[in-house]
Chain A
Amino acid sequence: MLRFVGRRALLAIPLLLAIIILMFSMLHLIPGDPVQALVGDYPVPPAYRQAIETKYRLNDPFLVQVGNYLANVAQGDFGFSYQNQRNVLDLILERAPRTMLLASVSFALAIPLGMAIGIAAGTSRRPGVDKFWTTTALIVYAIPTFWLGQLLVMLLALRLGWFPTQGIGPLISRTQGFAWLLEKLRYLALPVLAFGIHEGMRIARIMRASVIDTLSQGYIITARAKGLSRGRIIRSHVMRNSSLPLVTIAGYAFGSALGGAVLLETVFTWPGLGLLLVDSIRLRDNMTVIGVVIFSALAVIAMNLIVDLLYAALDPRIRTTR
């Protein structure tokens, strides 16, 4: 088991290195002066140019530059955002928890929602029920999140006025304790609904297929032969076994959600990593772009590792076959 984890972790390292190197090379791929590319649309003060050139060893061979950059990143130095006049790492650490909050709550909604629909559709003996859920899930899944978000804003925020249209909170908040939490939740509600419903439909589709596959397995016949009730069979033999593919797919989706939901955060002006990335790209703040992308990659890789662990915990066959 430990060996399994160790091997997976080791495999992740070259991947991460490759991403960092690739992102750093981007500086040289951008036409023109790399220092200008780091600073964005500002005139570069000569002293600053000097500092950057020394720090990133821009006058040394490429390999030295890369090695130097890797060493910086390893020390948590993702560079300085000229645009924001702040360290990129600080920016990321400020934004990441918001994205994490959005992703976690959305998936906390999506997973039970998707599983419930998938199980209802997959186990139903009436073809109509299955068809209804399958069609619904397909149609809703086909709606892009940003559009679904806009629809929710128009209906629940503009028309009914239940929720704010955007942001993570009022400019000045005087609430405390429980009222503060409630206020937070009102701001969280719409992006979470949009994201959660979308991911929920994806999960529902996977879950349905998996449930149908599980139901065709021999051990379901054994369970029937034991005289177990339908509900009991579903609870103790279908649910866990058909969740296995779900762990992988939902886990990877969650991993990439941690890197920022670009469209959704833009629609709701949710100041997370996704919005930071969009803004940085627009302002050509490449230092930040590189930092955010590396952070996202890290999130995806870490999540994949967790998925592997979770999978091993759920499927005893993985544990013994290393």
Chain B
Amino acid sequence: MSLSPLLDVRDLKVHLRLGPNVVKAIDGVDFRIMPGECVGIVGESGSGKSTMARAITRLMPNVNIAELSGELSFEGQDILAMPDGALRALRRGRGFSMIFQDPLGYLNPTQRVGRQIEEALSCDSSRGSNRNRVHTLLDEVGLPDPANVARRYPHELSGGMRQRVMIAIALASDPQLLFADEPTTALDATVQLQVLQTLYRLHKERNMAMAIITHDLGVVAELCDRVYVMRAGKVIESAETVRLFEHPQQDYSRRLIELSTRRLPRELQA
């Protein structure tokens, strides 16, 4: 593992201007991911996990009211100051990608999923080879009969299949870093587990760094090398997963752990 971080975030602030008020959604966060590493981001609802991930990936939905500041560097490049063209190039190839909680809303309802994946491929080549790449991706994310799935519309797929399609879209540009914002919250328990296992397999196979946002500390315990605990727009604790579970430094972290160990999913320990 190389010593320089893939992603290095220092003193990130996201301030939302809502009329006369300013909501400090993210208020000075330091965040680091090494190449090929898997980190978990946990914290209560509203603590700013999604906002942080979207600020880092520059995918804020409310760009016009959001004020970003701090240092954001990816492979040593400043992504905050980066012009749009360079940012797009980074997203199209070997950069970062993101998947979301609600795959149905994040897929275009009027287009076949094959086309939506094809659109994300890192560079345009011939039609035939693009189709093959789409099928390979669908196969890689664990969807049987890729040719058939590629022709479907999002509403014709199950929740688990949709999330796998989202993952295929995110992987199409062969990213070095994948943000997964509560990727399984909308799915039922058994499907959750399968999708997580797929994500973990891809993370290992592709040596792709991953940041998983979740409410489920069981997931973190199983998959993540390190954990960030967030609260009210700040990172209150970050540590190796084992260290955090054994010696949480903050009361808040301790409480989160206590709450989750009561229902730690057995299956994940397989």
Contacts and interface: CB of A to CB of B under 8 A. Distances in A.
Nearest to A319: B153
Contacts of B116: 222
A218 B105 contact: yes
B138 interface: no
A75 interface: no
A177 interface: no
B102 to A, nearest CB: 6
Given A236-B119, A317-B109, A229 B88 contact: yes
Contacts of A236: 111, 119
A221 B50 CA distance: 13
A316 B170 CA distance: 24
A241 interface: yes
B50 to A, nearest CB: 11
A227 B89 contact: yes
Contact of B105 (A219, A237, A241): A219
Interface string A219-236: 101111111110000001
**Chain A: number of interface residues, binned into ranges:** 20 to 34
B153 A317 contact: yes
A142 to B, nearest CB: 29
Contacts of B57: 225
Contact of A226 (B61, B87, B91, B155): B91
Contact of B106 (A221, A316, A320): A221
A111 to B, nearest CB: 19
A225 B91 contact: yes
Contacts of B120: 226-227
Nearest to B119: A226
Interface stretch (B28-36, B92-100, B232-240): B92-100
Given A218-B106, A225-B97, A316 B119 contact: no
Interface of B is mostly: loop
Given A221-B61, A225-B170, A320-B155, A241 B91 contact: no
Interface in A189-228: 216-219, 221-228
Contacts of B97: 225
A311 B254 CA distance: 54
Greatest chain B CB density within 10 A among A314, A317, A320 is at A317
Interface string B134-156: 00000000000000000001011
A19 to B, nearest CB: 35
Contacts of A227: 87-92, 95, 120, 173
Given A224-B59, A225-B57, A217 B105 contact: yes
A225 B119 CA distance: 11
Interface in B97-130: 97-98, 100, 102, 105-111, 116, 119-120
A315 to B, nearest CB: 6
Interface string A115-134: 00000000000000000000
Contacts of B102: 218
Greatest chain A CB density within 10 A among B61, B108, B109, B172 is at B108
B105 A316 contact: no
Contacts of B88: 227-229
Contacts of A241: 108-110
Greatest chain B CB density within 10 A among A219, A223, A225, A228 is at A225
B169 interface: yes
Contacts, number: 74
Interface residues of B, number: 32
Contact of A222 (B90, B95, B107, B155): B107
A218 B108 CA distance: 8
Contacts of B166: 222
Contacts of B111: 236-237
Contacts of B155: 316-317, 320
A55 interface: no
A322 interface: no
A166 B215 CA distance: 71
A120 to B, nearest CB: 18
A282 interface: no
A222 B169 contact: yes
Contacts of B173: 226-227
Nearest to A221: B59
B119 A228 contact: yes
Nearest to B156: A320
A28 interface: no
B91 A237 contact: no
18 contacts: A218-B100, A218-B105, A219-B105, A219-B106, A221-B59, A221-B61, A222-B108, A223-B108, A224-B91, A225-B97, A226-B119, A227-B120, A227-B173, A237-B111, A240-B110, A241-B109, A241-B110, A316-B155
Given A226-B119, A240-B110, A316-B155, 11 more contacts: A225-B59, A225-B97, A225-B98, A225-B169, A227-B87, A229-B88, A237-B111, A314-B110, A315-B110, A317-B153, A320-B155
**Which 9 A-B pairs rank lowest in CB-CB distance, beginning with the nearest?**
A227-B91, A218-B105, A218-B106, A227-B92, A226-B120, A227-B88, A219-B108, A316-B153, A222-B106
